[in-house]
Structure 1
Amino acid sequence: FIAQATNTPLSFHDLIVVLLVSMITSKGAHGIPGSAIVILAATLSAIPAIPVLGLVLILPVDWFVGIARALTNLIGNCVATVVVAVWENDIDRARAKRVLNRELRYVPAEEEEAAPVAGDQAHAL
């Protein structure tokens, strides 16, 4: 986007470098709020053709995009947890279906200690 907005032509070599640097720099920052700007600055510094000052174009909208990024990370982590549990046969499908159909009531750990355990409750671990 920055290259297009600043009318900077990129060679195939530049695109490959952007791809590789982006893959490397994105590995450790998915859980850090606001880290996209730092990663983008590192990526832009690896490509001398793209002006780093173009980063100013991204700053006003990064906060809103960050919210969407956090939401997609949360959804991805939840889906990955279920996929791994199914793959490892470590999920009680009948109980999961009852919880998702709201047939089981969630009981927090502190209430669980005070109340007797009933069969229609999902318990905190």
Structure 2
Amino acid sequence: DSKLTAHGEPIEEAAASVCLKSPDQIIAVGVNCVHPETVVPLIKRMNNIDRDFIAYPNAGVIWDAEKQIFDSQGQSITSFIYSYTDIGIKYIGGCCHVGPDQIRAIRDIIDRYSS
């Protein structure tokens, strides 16, 4: 979902609430363990929050409940990295099914973007 947290709250309300409750402790807000294509819409919903942004998407896998497996069809996480940096996401990593090779590729893309 590109609007709500896993618990069902609008993401911008959840992020704002955390920042209000602990303003001196929160240096960044973001998303974790979401499909790479939902990162940008979710972060854009939080654009009024005065913090850096974090994105730790999964590898783009989708759970197939019928087969009881993750379907790894689709774009590689690395194909999304430029869109993340373009909207100002400062901390980028990976979650479920993202391994060292993908993290290294993300680093290489960010290095090229920064130079």
Same fold (TM over 0.5): no
Bigger-Rg structure (1/2): 1
**TM-score normalised according to structure 2 size:** 0.23
Task: Tell me which protein shows more strand as a share of its residues.
Answer: 2
Higher RCO (C-alpha 8 Å, min separation 6): 2
**TM-score normalised according to structure 1 size:** 0.22
Task: Tell me which protein shows more helix as a share of its residues.
Answer: 1
